Chains A and B, each alone.
Chain A
Amino acid sequence: MSKRDLLVEIGTEELPPLALKGLADALLAGIVQRLDDAHVKHGRAQRFASPRRLAVLVKGVLEQQPEQQINRRGPPVSAAFDANGQPTRAALAFAESCGVQVAALQRVQDAKGEFLLFSARRPGAFTGELLPGVVQGSLDALPIPKRMRWGSGEAQFVRPVHWVVLLFGKDVVPASILGVQSDRFTRGHRFHAPKPFRISTPGAYLNALRKRAYVLADFEERRERIQVASQELARALGGQPVMDEALLDEVTSLVEWPVALAGRFEERFLHLPREVLIATLQDHQRYFPLSAANDVLMPRFIAVSNIESSDPDQVRAGNERVVGPRLADAAFFYETDRKLPLAARCPALAQVTFQTRLGTLQDKVARIRTLGAHIAGHINADARLTERAAELCKCDLLTAMVGEFPELQGTMGRYYAQHDGEPGDVAAAIAEHYLPRFAGDDLPATRVGMALALADKLDTITGIFAIDQKPTGTRDPFGVRRASLGVVRIIIEKQLELDLRELIAMAAQLLAAQSAGVGSVGDGVRDQVYDYMMERLRAYYLDNASGLEISTEMFDSVLSNRPASPLDFDARLRAVERFLKLDAAASLAAANKRIANILRKSQLPQTPAVNIELLRAPAEQRLHGELERLRPQIEPLLAQRNYTEALQQLAQLREPVDAFFDSVMVMDSDAQLRNNRLTLLAQLRDLFLHTADLSRLPG
């Protein structure tokens, strides 16, 4: 059957840059999904996105749907015919809606009974007829956070819609989409090529825009051009652009025809902290800062304009005129903020709500001061400095600079603390207590920073669970998920020996003692917090963030012991990972599984020890002997958390265990013998269980 290319383009007023790519992706997915649902075969599909357009090109779309099998179920047969066997109104109405006589209907039997069935084959629709619905459905399903209306119309979209191109091969598919009649006329660049211009075929779209209309509709191509042009400009100035990936995406979403240019600002602003300069240039202006070879910022920036200006110097000069006052404002904040020491801002924390039921920031600070000092005691951090850092760590939220640039929280606290002459560890910890802020982010480098980061996060996590606001898939306003992962990462990667259950209990107790809104935090909540954090730990390992190949069965084998110390957890998991590489692993895992089953079924009576007298078979005697021989070796290894070695030693049991199961009948008719054997197996299993529940492993 013949095929055609399909082009859909929605022409709008300037779209939100942060949403642009996601909208185009969703439009592509929606159109492909609907073509597939309609069984319309097609070739490769791609999407285009620029400030004034979302477009999708699908290659080789079949012109007609395949023949459709229709099966419609009607009323139950019991309700379809009356006592005389005559069709009821329900049956007649159903038949009419299918366009046939009742006699032409079939019957179908399923679990719920017997029903009338209309079954027919219908020729497939022409794809062109399906397209308006495909496009409309895809647009309706776009993930638009806020739809808007415009003029007097009822249509709702991201921004007002001006044109719709809907081409199927060379033909326009007539449709009314979002209040606009489809045609083949797109628009080029808002200023360089404002007039409507004709697209002959879908395949010609991209090139026509690129060659004749000053529009690079391909997002990735545009991004690449911005990147290359910025690097070239920077190189000519002896520097490198500082290119944040997210900013590059945003800049790409703000232009249809990127033209990069370099500008400069006054050298005197270089005394501002690097982060402040970058935030000013990036956040406010969407500029790329420039750094010299030694990574020091230069008084330069790269702006990406959307015009091939008839006088580029005007554009440059204009941009330079903006950046000066912006930096002057930042400098004003920096000067003003430093006039008041951070410590002097502490009382004002009482005016800032952390969470209605969890009190103010001052309340939170009091809690993490105590918890932080406690943690410090366990990890060889200075408790006094930790307390000081806790007192100051939220004060920068009250500064003008953080008011202007919220992402500089912590960073400004560090600068201001240094300026105030606070100890170096205190200043560092103020910045570090927010770490890690995202997956793969740095961890605190100082011990004080680690103690404070853990305290702050544990307080938030426990508090949010205590007021029953635990995060859902989509709702996590306090970043509990991220905080939990942060806690386990810090503990494991920084090799901190901490009892997580004890810390959760302490956080809970501090919350309960202080906040009337919390009340008592029971065991149930503490378990929830522990379980939640263990699930984050699972994700951590399954993502290979630890560098180990961990399966969910391996994780479960260790979790079954519910180790209180994440570091201990890690050691066990590493041991299991090594163990699984041994030849004996599969057989011992199978044996553990078998023993677990036997013990579960047999309801073992409590027997404290194996009675040697009752060991009759050579295989059970040997197994017992091996067990007794190994036990004194294993126990000190366990005490040292040398689980790897412990499991290596236990691997020696493979042969005696196999021999035992080959020749000994556990469930002997003699109750004494049976119980003695069960006790032997229970002891064997205990020895493994001290490290992990190997019965959960594949074997």
Chain B
Amino acid sequence: MPSRTKTQPPRTFQELIFALQRYWSDQGCVILQPYDMEMGAGTFHTGTFLRALGPEPWSAAYVQPSRRPTDGRYGENPFRLQHYYQFQVVIKPSPLEILDLYLGSLRTLGIDPLMHDIRFVEDNWESPTLGAWGLGWEVWLNGMEITQFTYFQQAGGFDCKPVTAEITYGLERVAMNLQRVENFFDILWADGPLGRVTYRDVFHQNEAEQSAYNFEHADVAWLLQEFDAHERSCQALLGSKLPLPAYEQVLKASHTFNLLDARRAISVTERQRYILRVRKLAHGVAEAYLQSRAALGFPLLKSNTQSGVAA
């Protein structure tokens, strides 16, 4: 149900994050912190990808810095960044009223659905590298995509039973709308007794430099070796039945691949093979993770029934 907490709509980027954390915390989600490694999306966080596997219930929300090297524009495009923020919510099993819960979060942000045009437009999600897919929508706010909504059907090549609902807010896009600015860099990040700080102040230099790194300076020869090394490590760790460290090697391999892609160091035909290599690792991790949870007796299955918490 929509939160009844009477709060002012967020004025700044950081207040937006606080508001979403508060709202989803009120709904019963575990508030996690960002995963401390480079990843392309919040989906890669263990709190989504691995927790979507198996029978255990799970509800979490967190911010995830996301890196997409090919989207770098040297800080010159108002709408594209190679580093940006996603706010991720996952609930398993997906409650029937999940869309209403989501709309409640928009109301909390001061977005009145009777004033703004909110639409759920089919967008079926697939991550070839994770061997994951789901059906859902992109959510439009006055024509702007602000959220991805997915009912996971498979992850790591395994059927998701029960189904996890994944909500991914594009925080910059939401903030742009709330603050009515036309450029990510004009988003007000903080506005307190110590002054106003914009997204530009925080990140513009980073965008320019990281774009140069992604497109011009990343060491291709070394990255190619690194990819191979992560693949080997992952396989070795899977052999030692250590799915969580093995998964971090998947994350590293995936990011390395993204950098190689930005450097256009991988031919179109080779590209497919690299994706398949990552997918194979992800599948191995998913399998090992499921086994490890089964070995533990799927602990969340028990604790949740005991405390009677309904997702």
CA distance A323 to B142 in the complex (A): 11
Nearest to A351 among chain B residues (CB) is B267
Q: Out of A17, A18, A151, A191, name the residue touching B113 (CB < 8 Å).
A: A191
CA distance A287 to B95 in the complex (A): 33
The answer to the question of B13 belonging to the interface, with a C-beta cut-off of 8 Å to chain A, is no
Q: Out of B93, B116, B135, name the residue touching A307 (CB < 8 Å).
A: B116
CA distance A567 to B58 in the complex (A): 69
The answer to the question of A13 belonging to the interface, with a C-beta cut-off of 8 Å to chain B, is yes
Spot the interface stretch: A142-150, A197-205, A633-641: A142-150
The answer to the question of B209 belonging to the interface, with a C-beta cut-off of 8 Å to chain A, is no
Assess A14 versus B137: contact at CB under 8 Å? Given A305-B117, A353-B268.
yes
Q: A353 to B269, Cβ gap below 8 A? A: yes
Q: Out of B124, B141, B151, B269, name the residue touching A318 (CB < 8 Å).
A: B141
Contacts of B118 in A (CB 8 A): 191, 306-307
The answer to the question of B73 belonging to the interface, with a C-beta cut-off of 8 Å to chain A, is yes
The answer to the question of A325 belonging to the interface, with a C-beta cut-off of 8 Å to chain B, is yes
CA distance A305 to B143 in the complex (A): 8
The answer to the question of A137 belonging to the interface, with a C-beta cut-off of 8 Å to chain B, is no
Please give the distance in Å from A588's CB to the nearest CB on chain B.
61
Contacts of B93 in A (CB 8 A): 151-152
Assess A310 versus B77: contact at CB under 8 Å? Given A148-B151, A351-B267.
no
Please give the distance in Å from B3's CB to the nearest CB on chain A.
17
The answer to the question of B176 belonging to the interface, with a C-beta cut-off of 8 Å to chain A, is yes
Please give the distance in Å from B300's CB to the nearest CB on chain A.
14
Q: A307 to B112, Cβ gap below 8 A? A: no
Q: Mark A179-191, 1 if CB is under 8 A from B, else 0.
A: 0000000000011
Assess A159 versus B268: contact at CB under 8 Å? Given A17-B122, A306-B117, A310-B114.
no
Contacts of A51 in B (CB 8 A): 120
CA distance A442 to B272 in the complex (A): 36
Q: B114 to A149, Cβ gap below 8 A? A: no
The answer to the question of B236 belonging to the interface, with a C-beta cut-off of 8 Å to chain A, is no
Q: B94 to A319, Cβ gap below 8 A? A: no
Q: Out of B112, B124, B143, B177, name the residue touching A146 (CB < 8 Å).
A: B124
CA distance A311 to B77 in the complex (A): 30
Q: B96 to A160, Cβ gap below 8 A? A: yes
CA distance A188 to B112 in the complex (A): 18
Q: How many residues of B contact A (CB 8 A)?
A: 42
The answer to the question of B115 belonging to the interface, with a C-beta cut-off of 8 Å to chain A, is yes
Q: Out of A152, A159, A314, A329, name the residue touching B116 (CB < 8 Å).
A: A314
Q: A318 to B177, Cβ gap below 8 A? A: yes
Q: A325 to B117, Cβ gap below 8 A? A: no
CA distance A624 to B23 in the complex (A): 101
Q: B163 to A151, Cβ gap below 8 A? A: yes
Nearest to A332 among chain B residues (CB) is B77
Please give the distance in Å from A314's CB to the nearest CB on chain B.
6
The answer to the question of B201 belonging to the interface, with a C-beta cut-off of 8 Å to chain A, is no
Contacts of B78 in A (CB 8 A): 324-325, 328
Nearest to A149 among chain B residues (CB) is B163
5 residue pairs A–B, Cβ–Cβ below 8 Å? A14-B119, A148-B135, A305-B117, A321-B176, A352-B269
List the 9 shortest-distance A-B pairs measured between CB atoms, nearest first.
A318-B142, A325-B79, A305-B117, A14-B120, A351-B267, A319-B143, A16-B122, A152-B162, A322-B144
Extra inter-chain contacts (19) besides given A17-B122, A314-B116, CB under 8 Å: A13-B99, A14-B137, A149-B153, A151-B93, A151-B162, A309-B114, A311-B115, A314-B115, A315-B116, A315-B117, A318-B177, A319-B143, A322-B144, A325-B182, A329-B79, A351-B268, A352-B268, A352-B269, A353-B268
